[in-house]
């Protein structure tokens, strides 16, 4: 039996599938049109313990580890959800881990625990004020790193935070921020000294802080049910108590949490591929052309076989890397390779699944059409494919 296929994890799959079937599928099209998911969805996911998966019970989570988070992500998409829904409902997966880790609490099987040791008294307070309510589904958080001048070069951020007594004064702007419209607080990367990786800190900024404005809702190719925002900070006063960990430790915190985010994106990629294989098989069985089902033609059967093989190979590799991450191995290169392998599989499978659907594949009514649009983000977010390649060549010693 695979380590990711235990009886407990099968139960977790069942729980996730019934949640998606009951609470998501009847409404997903409406949320795609509305451009966001409702707050009530966070509350119902929290009630079932799904929001807290991968977070320790001591901070209000449901326990479990990175592999459990992967199971939930995979099952949401395979049950008919989408990567856009994952982005919107599970934004706390990128907004909270730095706070939990800085408070000295290891996040089960993720890299978060490695951040312990930079804990300050304020970090326990942040857990009470932001982590617990978010995992209870009563608050929404976002993570803001990317700026209009660039996202790949995290060390080059320009948003500044100048110390003034027991506050920081923040100036700058962020863009493409997931859940930025709905968020009650934003975990924000700021520069607290001379520009560069050694001067980045993380501040938790409340939505209602004077000088903090949320700009227009950005319209996108995909991820329509996930709201995406521009944020502006003009002389925003943020209490020093809202700093995560010690000053200037933000770059390390961001990099260490990237592993979990990249594995989540890799999971979204192979799960989207798997879902599209299922949709294509169903379609090819039913669709008749020239008097026979599409699935009876050898060229179609072989194409489906190749799609299935790609999706399964990606899934096996992502799981292998996730198991190593959960065991605490330093596998930065492998995480980057896992993301690129899964994204490449997804891109090809989704494209072919849409092609097999013919004209219907191009229609909004077709689920495969949504996956085709949503999938395009996976090779851009959380470190683009080219940035993963940079990490991989470093790992090769080049
Ligand atoms: C829908 C959506 C949601 C997002 N959500 C968030 C969020 O919640 N929080 C957040 O902080 N950010 C978020 N982002 C931003 C995302 O992380 C960035 O878009 C991504 O990191 C790329 O940064 P960039 O767009 O500035 O591209 P750039 O950094 O300008 O790069 C442009 C292109 O050049 C390539 N490139 C860059 N440098 C090199 C190099 N040295 N060699 C070769 N190629 C290179 C890149 O790979 C990319 O293909 C989101 C983006 C989208 C589209």
pLDDT of residue 4: 80
Q: Which atom of ligand 1 is nearest to the CA of 150?
A: 26
Averaged pLDDT for residues 121-126: 82
Q: Which atom of ligand 1 is nearest to the CA of 384?
A: 47
Pocket test for ligand 1, best of 97, 152, 264, 268 (most atoms within 8 A of CB): 152
C-alpha span between 322 and 54 (Å, rounded): 13
214 lines ligand 1 (CB under 6 A): no
pLDDT of residue 116: 39
CA dihedral 265, 20, 84, 259 (to 10 degrees): -20
Closest CA to 53 of 142, 137, 140: 137
Distance 386 CA to ligand 1 centre (A): 10
Beta bridge partners of 203: 188, 243
DSSP 397: T
pLDDT-derived band at 107 (thresholds 50, 70, 90) equals low
228 lines ligand 1 (CB under 6 A): yes
Q: Which atom of ligand 1 is nearest to the CA of 218?
A: 1
229 lines ligand 1 (CB under 6 A): no
Distance 236 CA to ligand 1 centre (A): 26
Residue 310 tokens, joined: 């790609």
Segment 52-102, tens digit of pLDDT = 999 999 999 999 999 999 999 999 999 999 999 999 999 999 999 999 999
CA dihedral 84, 85, 91, 92 (to 10 degrees): -160
C-alpha span between 392 and 103 (Å, rounded): 31
Total Cβ atoms within 10 A of residue 330: 12
Q: Which atom of ligand 1 is nearest to the CA of 387?
A: 47
Distance 293 CA to ligand 1 centre (A): 42
Averaged pLDDT for residues 194-221: 96
Beta bridge partners of 169: 162, 237
C-alpha span between 379 and 284 (Å, rounded): 28
Segment 273-322, tens digit of pLDDT = 999 999 999 999 999 999 999 999 999 999 999 999 999 999 999 999 99
Residue 119 has pLDDT above 90, yes or no: no
Task: Please classify residue 324 by burial: count the beta carbons closer than 10 Å to its beta carbon, then call 0-12 exposed, 13-18 middle and 19+ buried.
Answer: middle
Residue whose Cα lies nearest atom 2 of ligand 1: it is: 176
Distance 379 CA to ligand 1 centre (A): 9
Overall pTM surpassing 0.85 (yes/no) = yes
Instruction: Provide the 3-class DSSP secondary structure of residue 43.
Output: helix
Distance 174 CA to ligand 1 centre (A): 12
pLDDT-derived band at 367 (thresholds 50, 70, 90) equals very high
Residue 326 has pLDDT above 70, yes or no: yes
Distance 308 CA to ligand 1 centre (A): 29
148 lines ligand 1 (CB under 6 A): no
C-alpha span between 232 and 93 (Å, rounded): 23
Q: Give me the half-sphere count of Cα atoms (radius 13 Å) on the Cβ side of residue 212.
A: 23
In this structure, of 2-11, 216-225, 260-269, the range with the lowest mean pLDDT score is 2-11
Q: Which atom of ligand 1 is nearest to the CA of 174?
A: 11
Segment 379-389, tens digit of pLDDT = 999 999 999 99
Rounded percentage of the chain residues whose pLDDT exceeds 70: 95
C-alpha span between 72 and 70 (Å, rounded): 5
Task: Work out the angle at residue 267's Cα, subtended by the Cα atoms of residues 303 and 294, and round it to the nearest 5 degrees.
Answer: 20
Query: Which helix (DSSP H) or strand (DSSP E) does residue 302 occupy?
Result: helix 298-326
Residue 220 has pLDDT above 80, yes or no: yes
Contact between residue 351 and residue 372 where contact means Cβ atoms under 8 Å apart: yes
pLDDT of residue 123: 86
Segment 202-215, tens digit of pLDDT = 999 999 999 999 99
C-alpha span between 380 and 104 (Å, rounded): 31
Which residues does the annotation mark as catalytic? 261
Instruction: Provide the 3-class DSSP secondary structure of residue 267.
Output: helix
Pocket test for ligand 1, best of 145, 268, 381, 398 (most atoms within 8 A of CB): 381
pLDDT of residue 121: 55
By residue count, the chain amounts to 398
């Amino acid at each position: 039996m695979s380590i990711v296929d235990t009886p407990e994890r099968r139960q977790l799959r069942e729980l996730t599938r019934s949640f998606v079937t009951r609470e998501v599928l009847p409404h997903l099209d409406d949320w795609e049109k509305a451009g966001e998911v409702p707050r009530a969805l966070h509350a119902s996911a929290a009630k079932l313990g799904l929001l807290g998966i991968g977070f320790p019970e001591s901070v209000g989570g449901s326990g479990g580890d990175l592999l459990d988070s992967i199971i939930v992500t995979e099952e949401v998409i395979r049950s008919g959800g989408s990567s856009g829904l994952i982005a919107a409902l599970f934004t706390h997966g990128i907004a909270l881990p730095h706070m939990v880790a800085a408070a000295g609490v290891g996040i089960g099987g993720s890299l978060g625990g490695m951040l312990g040791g930079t804990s300050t008294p304020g970090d326990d307070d942040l857990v009470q004020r932001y982590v617990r309510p978010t995992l209870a589904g009563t608050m929404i958080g976002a993570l803001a790193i990317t700026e209009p001048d660039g996202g790949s070069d995290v060390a080059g951020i320009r948003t500044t935070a100048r110390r003034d007594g027991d506050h920081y004064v923040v100036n700058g702007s962020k863009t493409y921020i997931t859940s930025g419209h709905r968020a009650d607080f934003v975990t924000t990367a700021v520069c607290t000294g001379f520009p560069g990786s050694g001067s980045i800190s993380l501040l938790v900024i409340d939505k209602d802080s004077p000088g903090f404005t949320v700009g227009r809702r950005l319209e996108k190719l995909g991820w329509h049910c996930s709201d995406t925002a521009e944020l502006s900070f003009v002389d925003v006063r943020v209490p020093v108590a809202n700093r995560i960990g010690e000053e200037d430790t933000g770059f390390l915190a961001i990099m260490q949490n990237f592993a979990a985010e990249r594995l989540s994106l890799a999971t979204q990629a192979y799960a989207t591929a798997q879902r599209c294989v299922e949709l294509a098989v169903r379609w090819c069985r039913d669709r008749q052309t020239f008097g026979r089902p599409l699935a009876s033609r050898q060229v179609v059967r072989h194409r489906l076989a190749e799609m299935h093989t790609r999706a399964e190979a990606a899934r096996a590799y992502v799981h292998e890397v996730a198991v190593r991450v959960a065991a605490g191995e330093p596998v930065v290169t492998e995480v980057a390779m896992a993301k690129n392998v899964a994204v490449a599989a997804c891109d090809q499978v989704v494209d072919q699944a849409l092609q097999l659907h013919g004209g219907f594949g191009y229609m909004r009514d077709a689920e495969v059409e949504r996956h085709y649009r949503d999938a395009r983000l996976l090779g851009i977010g959380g470190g683009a494919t080219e940035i993963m390649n940079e990490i991989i060549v470093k790992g090769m010693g080049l």
